[in-house]
Structure 1
Amino acid sequence: MKYFTSFLLALMVALTLNAQQQASPVVAEKISERLYQLKGGSGANGGFYVGDNGVLVIDSKMSEESQLQVFDAIKKVTDLPIKYLVNTHADGDHVNGNIYFPENVAIISHENCRSEFFVSRNETPSSWLNPGMAKGVPSITYKEKMDIYLGDKKVELYYFGVGHTTGDTYLYFKEEDVAFIGDQFFETRVQLIHTYKGGSAVQYVATMDKMLAAIPAKQFCSGHSEIASRDKIVAHVNMIRDKVATVRTLKSQNNTLDQVKARFPEGEAALIEGIYNEL
């Protein structure tokens, strides 16, 4: 086990170094005086919010170099300390940089997200089980809704159900009318659903319907796309809804999985297979 753990750490370092070599610099894109989207670096898009007495960060990067660039970007905006890190879900490109945050920063996620830190794709032991990684695991979780106050400024966290994973968090910034939604939206690629983490394309539609009903945001920030309008999010959800309906009809007509997949673009094979297997 000792040697296997060493192998996992070595592999993680190698992947991180590769990500560093390929990554563009981190850029803080201003949304409002208090809210910024973080783009570039290794890993997915994230963000940060400047409250009255501290900073809340949304997701981390994959490498130490990129995470340090995030800290530098925040320092250029405010001298206030980072108080909270919220993980939208447990994918490595959103959480690997957790370990580089100061130990006094509270890491927050949905309770299912925390559990998914210990789920691996190939049933191998999760690297988060290593003592050196433990400090990056969320220490605070919630079930349905959580409000975080930074002085008088409030950040709303929501959970609406299964989608990309089983533990996706949505953050709503009411004054800005902006929501951060992790990987619940992809604009230039097929919607990714992590079935090995319990994600569901079928449940995704109902989950996103609940989100749209509860959060009146006009702009949506996600992990791998540009800031999107509400209309784009609605269109994306309806597109997945239509695919689910089509697969349901084809399967009810006794079409095999291969026959159903042949009706869709090749790049959608994984999504369609996931839908087919759920129905």
Structure 2
Amino acid sequence: MKFKKVIAVSLLGVFSLGVFSQKKEVKISSEKITENIYMLQGQGGNIGIFVGKEGVFMIDDQFAPLTDKITSKIKEITDKPIKYLVNTHWHGDHTGGNENLKKEGVLIFSQENVRKRMSMDQVIKGKNKKAAPKEALPVITFSKDMMFHIDDEDILVSHVHNAHTDGDSHVYFLNSNVIHMGDTYFQGKFPFIDIETGGSIDGYIASIGKVLMLADDKTKIIPGHRSISNKKELQIYKSMLVTLRSRVQEALNEGKSFDEVSKDSNITKEYKDEYGAWFISAKKFRETIYKSLKDKK
């Protein structure tokens, strides 16, 4: 497969619209987590793969122009074909390779809202996102949960409600004690919560709480972006989110406006440097929480 170049865009465009950037050459790296599970990184969401006796179970697939590189990296790990692909949500940096992989015979699964979102035009942060072609859509969808039983591994794909979007799933490898959280976890940084397509701060916190109930001190956690994590880090992350949600709710209760919360750096003061120095700034995250809580009323 060979793919056309596209225009380089900002980091915001990469995450919110799923647009591929070629400002620099993208290299795909792999990190071995267990004997059969790996995390691949390149540009876009973290990819998870489980290598079975007869084929590969894959989680997310980044952007279409990277498919050749991604499949080449997988071939360095195993000569088994990719058989199954789960999309953790609908954003293009996690689903962009769907059409390419489907042409190779890969069977694609997702929560039902993922297919719905991909099937229609969307507006994200004021930008238009065209519907994906039919060839890129998941073939099998579910509403709540589904199980895969591959060799000696049981894999639970579980929907979490209104977290990063309205179609997020966690993928839990029960026997290997590994959980892929998709974009319901941006390890070490403020998360992007896509309110326009069903995300919410309350759902995001609840999603993390669900993983914390499943995890133990030995669980390996694959976030949607950045580095492999663990239960202790996730607990700290949840505490940060709960604290900021509480502060913004207090501001709402006091009748403060969107602009007042947006400008109030005291809300995020002790978290700004550590969590804000990446994709979502402290100011942007205050605004996201405000909008999410205001929408509840």
Query: Shorter-chain TM-score category?
Result: 0.7 to 0.9
> Is 1:127 aligned to 2:128, yes or no?
no
Q: Which residue of 2 aligns with 1:271?
A: 288
Could you say if the C-alpha distance between residues 250 and 21 of structure 1 is closer, same or farther in structure 2, counting changes exceeding 3 Å?
A: closer
Q: Which residue of 1 aligns with 2:242?
A: 241
After superposition, residues 85-124 of structure 1 pair within 5 angstroms as 85-103=85-103, 104-117=105-118, 118-121=120-123, 122=126, 124=128
After superposition, residues 214-253 of structure 1 pair within 5 angstroms as 214-216=214-216, 218-253=219-254
After superposition, residues 61-76 of structure 1 pair within 5 angstroms as 61-64=62-65, 66-76=66-76
The structural deviation recorded for 1:214 is 3.8
- Secondary structure in 2 matching 1:226: coil
Q: Which residue of 2 aligns with 1:45?
A: 46
After superposition, residues 161-200 of structure 1 pair within 5 angstroms as 161-200=161-200
The structural deviation recorded for 1:123 is 8.0
Asked if the contact 2:56–2:84 (Cα under 8 Å) also holds between the matched residues in 1, the reply is yes
Q: Which residue of 1 aligns with 2:203?
A: 203
Letter in 1 for 2:27: P
Asked if the contact 2:147–2:154 (Cα under 8 Å) also holds between the matched residues in 1, the reply is yes
- Secondary structure in 2 matching 1:22: coil
Could you say if the C-alpha distance between residues 102 and 254 of structure 1 is closer, same or farther in structure 2, counting changes exceeding 3 Å?
A: closer
TM-score normalised per structure 1: 0.85
The structural deviation recorded for 1:151 is 3.2
After superposition, residues 5-84 of structure 1 pair within 5 angstroms as 13-14=6-7, 19-40=21-42, 42-64=43-65, 66-84=66-84
What are structure 2's unaligned runs of at least 5 residues?
A: 9-17, 266-281
The structural deviation recorded for 1:177 is 1.2
Could you say if the C-alpha distance between residues 18 and 206 of structure 1 is closer, same or farther in structure 2, counting changes exceeding 3 Å?
A: closer
Letter in 2 for 1:111: E
Letter in 2 for 1:154: D
TM-score normalised per structure 2: 0.80
- Secondary structure in 1 matching 2:146: strand
Residues 29-50 of structure 1: per-residue CA shift (max 9 Å, x gap): 111221000012x322212110
Residues 153-188 of structure 1: per-residue CA shift (max 9 Å, x gap): 322211131100011111111232111111111234
Measured in 1, the distance between the counterparts of 2:96 and 2:189 equals 23
Measured in 1, the distance between the counterparts of 2:206 and 2:20 equals 38
The structural deviation recorded for 1:210 is 2.5
Could you say if the C-alpha distance between residues 159 and 276 of structure 1 is closer, same or farther in structure 2, counting changes exceeding 3 Å?
A: closer
Measured in 1, the distance between the counterparts of 2:23 and 2:239 equals 38
Measured in 2, the distance between the counterparts of 1:18 and 1:138 equals 21
Asked if the contact 1:85–1:107 (Cα under 8 Å) also holds between the matched residues in 2, the reply is yes
Q: What percent identity do the matched residue pairs reach?
A: 28
Residues 214-252 of structure 1: per-residue CA shift (max 9 Å, x gap): 455722111211011111112112211111111111211
Measured in 1, the distance between the counterparts of 2:30 and 2:76 equals 10
Could you say if the C-alpha distance between residues 267 and 188 of structure 1 is closer, same or farther in structure 2, counting changes exceeding 3 Å?
A: farther
Asked if the contact 2:67–2:100 (Cα under 8 Å) also holds between the matched residues in 1, the reply is yes
Equivalent residues, number = 263
Q: CA RMSD in A?
A: 2.4
Could you say if the C-alpha distance between residues 177 and 119 of structure 1 is closer, same or farther in structure 2, counting changes exceeding 3 Å?
A: farther
Q: Which moved more, 1:148-157 or 1:235-244?
A: 148-157
Could you say if the C-alpha distance between residues 226 and 213 of structure 1 is closer, same or farther in structure 2, counting changes exceeding 3 Å?
A: same
